[in-house]
Chain A
Amino acid sequence: MKDTKAETFLRFDNVKKSYDQENLVVKGFDMHVQEGEFITLLGPSGSGKTTVLMMLAGFESVTSGDIAINGRSINKTAPNKRNIGMVFQNYALFPHMTVAENLAYPLTVRKMPKAQIKERVAEYLALVELSAFGDRRPGQLSGGQRQRVALARAMIFQPTLILMDEPLGALDKNLREQMQFEITRLHKQIGFTVIYVTHDQTEALSMSDRIAVFNDGVVQQCAPPAELYERPVNAFVAEFIGENNFVRGKVTQIEGETAKVETDTGTITTQTSEGLTEGAQCRVSIRPEKLFIHPTTHAHDNALTATFITRIYVGDFIRYYFRLPDGTDIIVKVLNDLSAPEFEDGATAQLLSLTKDCIAFAN
């Protein structure tokens, strides 16, 4: 099958994978990736992210479907002929070689002249700011330094596509942020395409051009970070990305893009989502930072009456915990400024929101 759209660099076409001839681990994976994009696969453990990456790299066979690069299927291409760079979670730096030898390995395999290899290695060592470390063994480097060597090694043979499977999983928080910045910088500077796998949604949100949210072998939504956050297509994505409150209710009326939902604490107007039908039970998602506590100067469309439980001081903002009459807990995040109100235990409060911030999902 030839791709007619020239700009599609990498295409997954209804890719399925079963390890045991019984259960599908990846169930019909479709995705189009443009050249130079930073795509993140995000999803809970066991959802098939690594499997997709391994099929792309050629280390796992594709049970059915097609993976194509530049319109040409690579299903039958040997993994060493795919020219795809990889960064592994454990870095996979060869312990018996120095950093420079590690970097030179893909070039030696390609029979590049020695002088040129030396030059290229020096260039990439400089790129990841490790020029002084060429003669060290991987065992003599810190975690972050190893990570950068692994990155340089995956880039040095100038593949157009680089895969990273939880490359920052083993690093502590500070180093992680530093390396996220580093990877983004290199991606911008060199312009390769990245397929990135992570558990960490902040990482995904801050680095990616688009994020594919995986669950149970199926892509739930593939969209830019802001859209994923603001316009989740289903309850799983709404719950998985960021924090969210869910209010139970029943759809009473659908009118174009908006719906009326009857809840225990009154009717609210919401955005609709796919699969929502009149008269059906539903859940309305509202982000904690999109709820305001009455009295406020913000405009609002909906109001929920809830009982105050407690408030927790987190520093730059304050988290309020409320409970709806049906027992659902609601979290509200308020900036830590003069408007943050104080409550008595058991006091009731009005929680206000805008229609555009409420989305009703079918149950």
Chain B
Amino acid sequence: MPSLNTQDAANARRQLRRRRRQAFLFVVPLLVFILFAFVAPITTMLFRSVYNPTVAELVPETLEMLEDWSGEGLPDEATITRFAVDMKRMANDRTSGRLADEINRALPGMSSVVKSTARGLRRADDAELAANGAEMLLAENERWAKPATWRAIRSAGQVYTSSYYLTAVDLEYDSEGEIIMRDTQIYKQLYTKTLKMALIITGLTMLLGYPLAFYMSQASPATANFLMVFVLLPFWTSLLVRTTAWIALLQAGGVVNSTLLWAGLINQPIELLYNEFSTILAMTHILLPFMVLPLYAVMRGIDASFMRAAISMGSNPIGAWYKIYLPMSLPGLSAGALLVFIISVGYYITPALVGGTDGQMISNIIAFHMQVSNNWELAAALGSLLLILILVLYWLFDRFVGTDNLKLG
């Protein structure tokens, strides 16, 4: 093979570089967008779930002095005095409430103690406080005399902590620093329920979507388009309209209940709304397109001759479907299942609207911690666990089904 001379080689290299640069320019907008809209927030969230500087910012000196404390008995008088002085300052610049929240999280019941102490020390004389602070603090509330209280302050003061992750899986540090089960077990159960509901929804969309997509793939284009409109209808109607429709249908005096009552099948309205049932129903409705679209795309590419060939060779239609058609449509089925499952694991709006307390999923609790209880760190920890869970599930999927068995378009 004749080789290029140096001039040609340089030209070829330059052309290659230019092509690469052009190709890169095409994806730059997406990369920038992803960086700002996805990578940055997710990183912040992950960081927030282990980073909690509030207490450390409020009472830095106290925490520094607490470091020398053994954890047994009370800290020395200087430390307690320092804390009393801090308390007065916080009472006056109205940050004691934040401290109360933080310490309360480490040791329940401390919120009111901190707040009442803050009120008590607000008008204290500075000089007296500096000299006699420890005594005054201990007089405000007996719990200041307990070592557990100070351990709680010290643990709340840690800037980097795993306690939110422990909370997210229903564990906590006890006052000795050991990991124990929490009294209230909610999150693990909630994760299980979320997974269970996502599985049911995935199963239901498969059950509804597979035959439908199959029929659409065999039907004439006009019929297929017509059916496709029905599949896509949930996408085209406003969320609120859809939810209102479900409520009108399912509430105690709604269409379903009154029909059943009228038919004499039930004596009193059954609860169809604001529970797991309504959540699953509404989510199956909204997520069905994610199952049908990839299935339809794959099935349309499967020529009728494959089934015919199998049948002509003596296989009965069900056997031919199982051995030939199903494996060939699997890429669409797994793509649809994966989409529906992952979307429903993280679904928020439908459970919030029609789920009641019973139909809440993990995302609703995350939202609760972000909007109501203001515990962003816990919300971040729960969200990170959700992310990890989804990545693990995807990995399992890849192991057992294979991502090359996936067709998303």
User: Is residue B211 within 8 Å, beta carbon to beta carbon, of the partner chain?
Assistant: no
In terms of DSSP, what is the predominant structure of the interface of chain B? helix
**Residues B303 and A92 in contact, CB atoms below 8 Å apart:** yes
Q: Complex formed: what's the CA distance from A92 to B308 in Å? A: 9
- Which of A84, A94, A96 meets B312, CB within 8 Å? A84
Q: Complex formed: what's the CA distance from A97 to B348 in Å? A: 42
User: Is residue B327 within 8 Å, beta carbon to beta carbon, of the partner chain?
Assistant: yes
A176 CB → nearest B CB, Å? 20
B244 CB → nearest A CB, Å? 44
Q: Which residues of B contact A84 (CB under 8 A)?
A: 312
Size range of the interface on A? Answer: 20 to 34
Q: Complex formed: what's the CA distance from A143 to B319 in Å? A: 28
Interface residues of A in 127-172 (CB under 8 A from B): 153-154, 157
B244-280: contact bitstring with A at CB < 8 Å (1 yes, 0 no)? Answer: 0000000000000000000000000000000000000
**Residues A80 and B306 in contact, CB atoms below 8 Å apart:** no
Interface residues of B in 300-315 (CB under 8 A from A): 303, 305-306, 308-315
Q: A94-B324, A96-B327 are in contact. Are A109 and B319 (CB under 8 A)?
A: yes
A295 CB → nearest B CB, Å? 58
Interface residues of A in 35-82 (CB under 8 A from B): 57, 59, 78-82
**Residues B309 and A92 in contact, CB atoms below 8 Å apart:** yes
Q: Complex formed: what's the CA distance from A94 to B320 in Å? A: 11
Q: Complex formed: what's the CA distance from A80 to B310 in Å? A: 8
Q: A80-B316, A105-B315, A109-B315 are in contact. Are A90 and B303 (CB under 8 A)?
A: yes
Q: Which residues of A contact B303 (CB under 8 A)?
A: 90, 92
User: Is residue B328 within 8 Å, beta carbon to beta carbon, of the partner chain?
Assistant: yes
B247 CB → nearest A CB, Å? 46
Q: Complex formed: what's the CA distance from A57 to B327 in Å? A: 24
The interface centre, meaning the residue of B306, B312, B327 with most chain A CB atoms within 10 A of its CB, is B312
User: Is residue B317 within 8 Å, beta carbon to beta carbon, of the partner chain?
Assistant: yes
User: Is residue B94 within 8 Å, beta carbon to beta carbon, of the partner chain?
Assistant: no
User: Is residue A28 within 8 Å, beta carbon to beta carbon, of the partner chain?
Assistant: no
Q: Which residues of B contact A105 (CB under 8 A)?
A: 310, 313, 315, 323
The residue on A at minimum CB distance from B308 is A59
The residue on A at minimum CB distance from B312 is A86
B29-68: contact bitstring with A at CB < 8 Å (1 yes, 0 no)? Answer: 0000000000000000000000000000000000000000
Q: A57-B308, A88-B309, A157-B314 are in contact. List 11 more A-B contacts (CB 8 A).
A: A59-B308, A79-B308, A79-B312, A80-B312, A89-B305, A96-B328, A106-B313, A110-B314, A153-B309, A153-B313, A157-B313
Question: Mind listing 19 A-B residue pairs with CB under 8 Å?
Answer: A59-B311, A78-B316, A79-B308, A80-B315, A80-B316, A80-B317, A80-B320, A83-B314, A85-B313, A90-B305, A92-B303, A92-B305, A94-B306, A94-B309, A106-B313, A110-B314, A153-B309, A153-B313, A157-B314
Residues of B within 8 A of A (CB): 303, 305-306, 308-317, 319-320, 323-324, 327-328
